[in-house]
Amino acid sequence: MRIWIKTPLAILADNAAGGLVVEDARIVECLAAGATPAAPVDETFDASAHVVVPGLVNTHHHFFQTLTRAHPQAINKELFPWLMSLYPIWAKNVTPETFRMGTRLALTELMMSGCTTAADHHYLFPAGLEDAIDIQVEEATRLGIRMTVTRGSMNLSQKDGGLPPDTVVQDEDTILADSERVLSRYHDTSDGAKIQVALAPCAPFTVTKHLMRESVALAERFDCRLHTHLGETIDEDDYCLHHFQCRPVDYLEDCGWLNERVWLAHGIHFTDDEIARLGRHRVGVCHCPTSNMVLASGQCRTRELEAAGSPVGLGVDGSASNDNSNLMEGLRHALMINRLTYDAASVTHYDTFRWATEGSARCLGREDIGSIAVGKQADLALYTLEELRFSGSGDPLAALVLCGAHTADRVMIGGEWTVVDKRPVTIDIERLRAEHGAAAKRFLEAL
C-alpha cells in the first residue's frame, strides 16, 4: 500500500513541499515542490489544508492520574504535600478496572493531540494491581499507538523514611521478578517496534539505592532504557542531603545511573557542574513545563542541558499535575516558560517541536521515529487551521504553537490512520467519557 500525502499547507521537513509517500509502515519519499512520486501510488490524500509534523513523542506521564484531575485534596499545593494528599486516595481506589480506564483515556487524549508514541511512568502497585503493565500494553495495542511502558517501582515507604504509604510499595524481589517478566514478554528492540519496556524506579525518596543499582544490571542484560524523577524540587535536594549526604546528581552517579540509557523527568534544580556531568554522559531530560508551573517546581534549563550534550524531550507529566494529556498544548507551554526563562528571540516554536519529536525520540533511545525523512516510521500528525483561533495567522507551523492547536485532524502511526476527522478510529469517545467519569467518581467519594 503506497499513500501520497500530497502538497501540504506546511510541513516540518526539509525539501518536502510536494508531500511524502508512505509505503507500508515507512516514509519512502519526500517530494520537493512540484514533484510527483517515483512509482504509482494506491491512494492520494490531499493535504493542502493540513499542517504536517512528525508524530509527537511524550516521554513522561502517569496515566492513572487522569482519575484525580483537579482533585479538591490536591489543588494549590507543591509536590510533596500534593503527593501526601493523593497517595492515600490512590492506594484505596486504583484497581485494575479504574487503572484500565485511566490508561485508555490518557492514551486516547494523547493521540488525539497528535502524539504517536507515549511513555508512561507507572510506579503505583497496590494489592490487586500486579498486572498493571499488561493492562497498559493491551490498551496501547488496542488503540494502535506506540508505547514505552515503564515498569516503575517504589520500595521505600513511610515506615522506612520514604513518602508513600506502606500499601502501595512492593518488596525488591517482587519488583525485580516482575521487571524481568515484562521485559521478557514485551520488550521489542527491533526497528519500528510498537511496544518497548523501560525500568523506572520512582524517585530518591521512594526507592532504595540497592534497587536503583539492580535496575541498572537488569537494563544492561535486556538492553532497555532507565527512567526516574530527578531534580524536580528543592525538597528533593533537601531529602537527598539529609538521607544520603549528597545532592541528587551525586546520588544518581552513586547508583550507576550516569549513562546514556537514562532519561530523567523534570531535571530542574541542577547546578552548572551537574548539567555538564549529565551532558557528558548523554543523560536525557524530559521537560515537563505544564506540571512544573502547576506545582511551582521551577524552570528547566533546557538550553544549557542541550548545549552540554543531554537530549531534551517533552512530557505532559501526570494528569493530576497537568489536568489533561494534551501534548500539543505542552508545546505552547514549553515555548512560553522558556521565553520567560531566557528571552523571546532565542527560544522559538522550532525548539518546542524539536523537543517533542527528535529530542523525545532520543530520550527513548529510538532512531526510527521523531522526524519526517526517508526510512523513518510513518508517524505523522496533521492539523487544520479552520478554528477561529487560527484566523489571521501567517506562518502555519508557528500558528500551531502560538495560536494553541489542541486536536489533530488526522494521525498516522506506522502507515495506518489512527485518527480521522479528529476522532480515534477504534475508540468511542462518548462512551469512554462516560465510563471514565464513572470510574473517577469513587476517587471523590473517598472524601
DSSP labels, 101-166: HHHHHHHHHHHHTTEEEEEEEE----TT-TTHHHHHHHHHHHHT-EEEEEEEE----GGGT-SS-G
C-alpha closest to that of 122 among 168, 55, 57, 184? 168
Of 154-168, 175-189, 308-322, the least confident: 154-168
Q: In the predicted model, is pLDDT for residue 172 greater than 90?
A: yes
In the structure, what pLDDT confidence band is assigned to residue 120 with cuts at 50, 70 and 90? very high
Q: Helix/strand/coil (H, E, C) string of 23-71?
A: ECCEEEEEECCCCCCCCCCCEEEECCCEEEEECEEECCCCHHHHHHCCC
Longest CA–CA span in the chain (Å) reads 68
Residue type, 403: C
How far apart (Å, rounded) are the C-alpha atoms in residues 408 and 108? Answer: 12
What value does the mean pLDDT take over residues 399-404?
98
Contacts of 402 (CB under 8 A, 6+ apart): 332, 335, 349, 393
Of 13-22, 153-162, 325-334, the least confident: 153-162
C-alpha closest to that of 114 among 329, 287, 429, 294? 329
CATH class of the domain defined by 56-363:
alpha beta
Q: Give CA separation, 2 vs 5, 28, 37, 38, 378, in Å.
A: 10, 9, 10, 11, 11
In this prediction, residue 446 carries a pLDDT of: 56
Q: What is the mean pLDDT of the chain?
A: 97
Q: In the predicted model, is pLDDT for residue 40 greater than 80?
A: yes
Sheet order of strands, 2-6 included: 26-31, 19-23, 2-6, 43-46
Indicate yes or no: pTM above 0.95: yes
In the structure, what pLDDT confidence band is assigned to residue 435 with cuts at 50, 70 and 90? very high
Determine the CATH number of domain 2-54+372-422: 2.30.40.10
Query: From the CB of residue 220, how many other CB atoms can be counted at a distance below 10 Å?
Result: 13
- Looking at the DSSP assignment, which residues form a beta bridge with residue 411? 381, 419
3-state SS class at 85: helix
In this prediction, residue 42 carries a pLDDT of: 97
What value does the mean pLDDT take over residues 388-401?
98
What value does the mean pLDDT take over residues 374-388?
98
Domain ranges of the chain: 2-54+372-422, 56-363
In this prediction, residue 235 carries a pLDDT of: 93
Rg of the chain's alpha carbons, rounded to an integer? 21
3-state SS class at 397: helix
What value does the mean pLDDT take over residues 82-93?
94
In this prediction, residue 199 carries a pLDDT of: 98
Q: Give CA separation, 156 vs 141, 166, 193, in Å.
A: 32, 8, 33
Q: In the predicted model, is pLDDT for residue 92 greater than 90?
A: yes
Return the C-alpha cell found at 258.
550516569
Q: Give CA separation, 245 vs 209, 251, 258, 438, in Å.
A: 13, 9, 18, 46
Stronger pLDDT, 163 or 366, i.e. the higher one: 366
CA angle 263, 111, 431 (to 5 degrees): 130
Residue for cell digits 535536594? 237
What value does the mean pLDDT take over residues 401-417?
98
In this prediction, residue 332 carries a pLDDT of: 98
Q: In the predicted model, is pLDDT for residue 351 greater than 90?
A: yes
Question: For the chain, what percent of residues have pLDDT higher than 70?
Answer: 100
Q: 377: which DSSP letter? A: B
Q: In the predicted model, is pLDDT for residue 163 greater than 90?
A: no
Residue type, 186: Y
What value does the mean pLDDT take over residues 221-245?
96
In this prediction, residue 161 carries a pLDDT of: 85
Query: From the CB of residue 157, how many other CB atoms can be counted at a distance below 10 Å?
Result: 18
Q: In the predicted model, is pLDDT for residue 447 greater than 70?
A: no
Question: For the chain, what percent of residues have pLDDT higher than 90?
Answer: 97
Is 208 in contact with 169 (CB distance < 8 Å)?
no
C-alpha closest to that of 362 among 315, 316, 312, 317? 312
In the structure, what pLDDT confidence band is assigned to residue 106 with cuts at 50, 70 and 90? very high
